[in-house]
């Protein structure tokens, strides 16, 4: 079922609590990557143009309910001010008389940011009194923080239960694009899944099994699948307790006729550090004292060939130890290949911090069909879970004719009921 969006809300002259995800990297007092801030600009500008009073709520880092100076939102507000070309003040705290007074002085068309919500342990605990206080600041609630939609916190679940709650423009775009992958992807549909651990990806692999035509697996998680196929991986990252799960996924892919590509050759290194000795070996001949750090050139070629017929591609997770430049060739090659395919008309959806970082490094983000701002949230969505931060938003009423339609097919019934 679809959600009502900020376009459906009457916000003129009203105080709007806008939950954003400004949990961005800060270095030397400056925002290092502002992609999440830029992603919420359309919603912020829309509300300001509608003459609303905009009160931003976000978290930053994990201060565990304590005031941590390095986790203050000053740097974020400074960057947002630059993007909006208008000063965005920050309160000294998310609560208190000073915050209430600052909100009370706001006029339509003005904006204010509350200090880091996680300076209060009550935020992550979804404390009802904390949620009630936050809700008292506004008349309308809008959630544009897809990256936190899988968390049942006060600002994502408690507050919208007390106010008319709508999806922001970014949230709307995330739901639409990820739902498309589950409900009606253009075929063939390929999923490129990487990252360090298979344990965080098993559920999404299993849920996508009935929807995907081809899986391409890389990163540290591929090692567990190689072991499930009877190979050894030396000193490489390996989740021994997940080998049986990996074997089950491989068997399911074979039973359902889903192509499941693993690395045929890999880059191995003596140490997983910059400047370490490294070489390319077949995946079935990984030396005992070496670690897999990237996919090899033959694998890159095989992956590119497998993607050739794809009309939809979902990519989550790097294909090697991307943070070490020497071991990021496979990830960068995938980024360039997907950018080329997206320009040629293939639907390409990317989620996950390191995947997006590769695109940012190569200045390719604008080429993609959609870049998800939520790593964990996008994975849970694609696992078929109902995310609490989305479930609590108001549903769009179903037109009478639509309500009389026949039940959805079996394949569609597995999609999350969050639209």
Which domain CATH number covers 122? 3.40.50.1260
Task: Name the nearest CA neighbour of 174 among 418, 373, 414, 375.
Answer: 373
Number of domains the chain is built from: 2
Query: Looking at the annotation, which residues are catalytic?
Result: 36, 197, 353, 376
25 and 136 fall within a common domain: yes
d(CA 115, CA 253): 48
Q: What is the share, in percent, of the chain residues with pLDDT greater than 70?
A: 95
Q: What pLDDT sits at residue 336?
A: 96
Domain with 37, as residue range(s), is 6-167
Residue 191 contacts by C-beta under 8 Å, 6 or more apart in sequence?
Answer: 208, 212, 214, 215, 216, 313, 314, 315, 316
Q: Give the C-alpha separation, 197 to 136, whole Å.
A: 42
Pair 193, 149 in one domain: no
* pLDDT by 10s per residue, the chain, length 419: 599 999 999 999 999 999 999 999 999 999 998 989 999 999 999 999 999 999 999 999 999 999 999 999 999 999 999 999 999 999 999 999 999 999 999 999 999 999 999 999 999 999 999 999 999 999 999 999 999 999 999 999 999 999 999 999 999 999 999 999 999 999 999 999 999 999 999 999 999 999 999 999 999 999 999 999 999 999 999 999 999 999 999 999 999 999 999 999 999 999 999 999 999 999 999 999 999 999 999 999 999 999 999 999 999 999 999 999 999 999 999 999 999 999 999 999 998 778 888 898 899 999 999 999 888 899 999 999 999 999 999 999 877 765 555 554 444 343 343 33
Predicted structure pTM score: 0.89
Helix or strand or coil: residue 99?
A: helix
Yes or no: say if 26 and 78 are a contact pair by the CB < 8 Å rule.
Answer: no
Chain segment 42-95, per-residue pLDDT in tens: 999 999 999 999 999 999 999 999 999 999 999 999 999 999 999 999 999 999
Are 303 and 190 part of one and the same domain? yes
From 167, 198, 229, give the residue that closes a domain: 167
* Average pLDDT for the chain: 93
195 in the same domain as 304? yes
């Amino acid at each position: 079922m679809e959600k009502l969006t900020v376009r459906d809300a009457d916000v003129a002259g009203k105080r709007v609590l806008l939950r954003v995800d400004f949990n961005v990297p800060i270095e030397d007092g400056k925002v290092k990557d502002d992609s999440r801030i830029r992603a919420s600009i359309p919603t912020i500008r829309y509300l300001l143009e509608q003459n609303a009073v905009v009160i931003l709520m976000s978290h930053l880092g994990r201060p565990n309910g304590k005031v941590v100076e390095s986790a203050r939102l000053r740097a974020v507000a400074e960057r947002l001010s630059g993007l909006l070309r208008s000063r965005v003040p920050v309160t000294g705290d998310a609560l208190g008389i000073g915050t209430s007074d600052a909100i009370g002085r706001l006029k339509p068309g003005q904006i204010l940011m509350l200090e880091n919500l996680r300076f209060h342990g009550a935020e992550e605990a979804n404390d009802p009194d904390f949620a009630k206080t936050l809700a008292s600041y506004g008349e309308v609630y809008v959630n544009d923080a897809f990256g936190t939609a899988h968390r049942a916190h006060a600002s994502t679940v408690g507050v919208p239960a007390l106010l008319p709650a709508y999806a922001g423009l970014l949230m709307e775009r995330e739901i639409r694009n990820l739902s498309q992958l589950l409900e009606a992807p253009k075929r063939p549909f390929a999923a490129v899944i990487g990252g360090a651990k298979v344990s965080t990806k098993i559920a999404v692999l299993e849920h996508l099994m009935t929807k995907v035509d081809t899986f391409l697996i890389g990163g540290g998680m591929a090692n567990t699948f190689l072991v499930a196929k009877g190979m050894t991986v030396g000193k490489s990252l390996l989740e021994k307790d997940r080998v049986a799960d990996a074997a089950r996924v491989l068997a399911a892919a074979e039973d359902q006729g889903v192509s499941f590509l693993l690395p045929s050759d890999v880059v191995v290194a003596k140490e997983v550090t910059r400047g370490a000795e490294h070489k390319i070996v077949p995946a079935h001949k990984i030396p005992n004292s070496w670690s897999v750090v990237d996919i090899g050139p033959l694998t890159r070629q095989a992956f590119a060939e497998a993607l050739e017929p794809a009309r939809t591609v979902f990519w989550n997770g790097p294909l090697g130890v991307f943070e070490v430049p020497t071991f990021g060739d496979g990830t960068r090659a995938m980024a360039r290949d997907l950018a080329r395919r997206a320009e040629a008309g293939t639907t390409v959806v990317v989620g996950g911090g390191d995947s997006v970082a590769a695109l940012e490094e190569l200045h390719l983000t604008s080429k993609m069909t959609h870049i998800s701002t939520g790593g964990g949230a996008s994975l849970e969505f694609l696992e078929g879970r109902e995310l609490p931060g989305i479930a609590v938003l108001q549903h769009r009423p179903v037109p009478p004719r639509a309500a009389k339609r026949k039940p959805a097919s079996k394949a569609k019934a597995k999609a999350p009921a969050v639209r």
